[in-house]
Amino acid sequence: MYTIGYDLGSSSVKVALVETATGKKIAVINEPSKEMEILALHSDWAEQDPDMWWSHICTATKRIIKEAKIKPAEITGIGISYQMHGLVIVDKDGKPLRNSIIWCDSRAVAIGNKAYDDLGHDFCASALLNAPGNFTASKLKWVRDNEPKIYESIFKYMLPGDYIAYKLTGELVTTKNGLSEGTLWNYKTESVANELLDYYGIDRSYTPDIVENFTNQGEVHTEAATATGLPEGISVNYRSGDQPNNALSLNILKPGEVAATGGTSGVIYAVTDQSEFKEIQKVNHFAHVNYTEKKPVVGRLLNINGAGIQYRWLKNNSAAQSYDEMNDQAAQVNIGAEGAVVIPFGNGAERMFNNRTIGTHFCNLNLNTHTNAHLYRAALEGIAFSFVFGMDILKNDNTAIDVIRAGNDNLFRSEIFANTVATLIGQEIEIYNTTGAVGAARAAGLTDGDFTRFGESITQNDHVKTYSPTTDKAAYVAAYEHWKKQLQTFI
């Protein structure tokens, strides 16, 4: 028997099948072959059609069943991961009233900033654990202010994963986890953050009913079964935003455990049982996938926009043919890149610098001695230093870091990058070969609450290697201090 997992990103839908009994990965595919379209009517807007997502879900589900050569009746449960912070609004018939305003759309920044000041920083810190920012609630307020006719037709608002679950089951529901992603959860009252809705003038009835994770959240109806090829009557048991789900995929469920992602942007996601934080503008806080009222486990998410995109830029604008070639050349250069420094923040405003745009900077280049190899090394180190800088923010704000796990992709395939981070924070980094879709599929089978068994399955199936801190770290420390000194020039 099998469970199926969906990971709805902004570029594609990833689908995975895993064996229910063992958690073993059976198949993983992407749909479509080209990236999904993002509509940008203005420079700071980003929208997608929710029914485009559903179309690709249907196509991908039929394809993976066929390619894996399994019988649809052998699929017993569904898990859903999705792009965070997006807004989908539907009418009473469940039809989208407009395109989804997705995570990278920044039209509501000013709305969230004003709410932070008007509601009070203390209230936001103690009740929401976040500044309202550019999250789902603020995007809904933008619709109310700018598209009143559409707003008046709203029956429910939801997150992207909620919409996919609705299309499968016909149930218009959400989770505490999803509401927290939109700054719509009050951690003090353990209820919907109606204070923010009331401040924004949002009708409270627009909030869907709440279901718990790792339970039956609705069953596939006849129309969805026909569209997807899934068996009628199987249940959606789990849904989560992509970063909390990535953490779950790496068995990051307990306080002190940290998931690290080194893709185009970087993410440090630390799990904690604390509830008082100073850094609510630099760091986001979400109800983790295993959050309950009795055990309020919170995920602290620190984003680094300028990460893998910096290394990709170097590849595209140098003579390198591959990342492996770049890594090999960088390995021939000493720690510290003989003084060359890369400040890697050229991918927009950085939240951990209070939403300042720092930019990318190449510093201290000696045209007589430095080569592409030095730039590759300096870039890998600069990105690694930015991760360490972010982890220092977390550690200085009441967050323990005892275990770090990362996927075996992108930056963590580089020993220079992984060793630099491990050495400077004095902590092993465990590397696992898994994906968000696989994690969601496994979570669909986690209805018995046995997180120990769940974690053992990941360790047995996915562990690739462990990077350990280097004993002699003096050169790393010196290079990091040199990098921070250069950084101060720009912040």
Residues 223 and 155 in one domain: yes
Contact 82, 135 (CB under 8 A): no
Contact 6, 28 (CB under 8 A): no
Q: What is the CA radius of gyration of the chain?
A: 22
pLDDT level of residue 80 (50, 70, 90 thresholds): very high
Of the three residues 244, 262, 292, the one that is the final residue of a domain is: 244
Can you give the pTM of this predicted structure?
0.93
Residue 360 belongs to some domain of the structure: yes
377 and 336 share one domain: yes
State the average pLDDT over residues 96-109.
94
In sequence order, what are the residues at sequence separation of 6 or more whose Cβ sits closer than 8 angstroms to the Cβ of residue 73? 231
Domain of 370 in residue numbering reads as 251-428+468-491
| pLDDT value of residue 364 | 96
More confident residue, 62 or 455: 62
Instruction: Identify whether 442 is part of a domain.
Output: no
Are 220 and 266 in a shared domain?
no
Mean of per-residue pLDDT scores for the chain: 95
Do 239 and 265 lie in one domain? The reply is no
pLDDT at 449 over 90: no
Together in a domain, 353 and 379: yes
**Concatenated DSSP letters of 86-137:** -BEEE-TTS-BSS-EE-TT--TTHHHHHHHHHHH-HHHIIIIISS--TTSHH
78 and 106 assigned to the same domain: yes
Identify whether residues 240 and 255 lie together within a single domain.
no
**How many other CB atoms sit within 10 Å of the CB of residue 370?**
19
Shared-domain flag, residues 336 and 220: no
In a domain, 449, yes or no: no
- Whether residue 59 sits in one domain with residue 21: yes
Q: Quick one: pLDDT band at residue 236, thresholds 50, 70, 90?
A: very high
pLDDT value at residue 231 = 98
Last residue of a domain, which of 225, 244, 263? 244
pLDDT digits (tens, 9 = 90+) for 20-49: 988 999 999 999 988 899 999 988 899 999
- Above 90 in pLDDT, residue 410? no
52 with 177, same domain: the answer is: yes
Domain boundary among 244, 276, 298: 244
**How confident is the model at residue 287, as a pLDDT?**
97
Give the range with max mean pLDDT: 85-99, 263-277, 457-471: 85-99
User: Does residue 408 register a pLDDT over 90?
Assistant: no
Please indicate, yes or no, if residue 444 is contained in any of the structural domains.
no
Assess whether pLDDT exceeds 90 at residue 84: yes
The pLDDT score that the predictor gives to residue 43 is 84
- As for how many domains the chain has, the answer is 2
Residue of 253, 294, 301 lying closest to 130 (CA atoms): 301
**Residue 460, pLDDT above cutoff 90:** no
**Looking at the domain assignment, is residue 443 inside a domain?**
no
Same domain, 285 and 234: no
CATH of residue 275: 3.30.420.40
Tokens representing residue 362 in the block: 């190449």
Query: In the prediction, which pLDDT does 349 show?
Result: 84
Write out pLDDT tens, residues 354-391: 888 899 999 999 999 999 999 999 999 999 999 999 99
Q: Are residues 176 and 321 in the same domain?
A: no
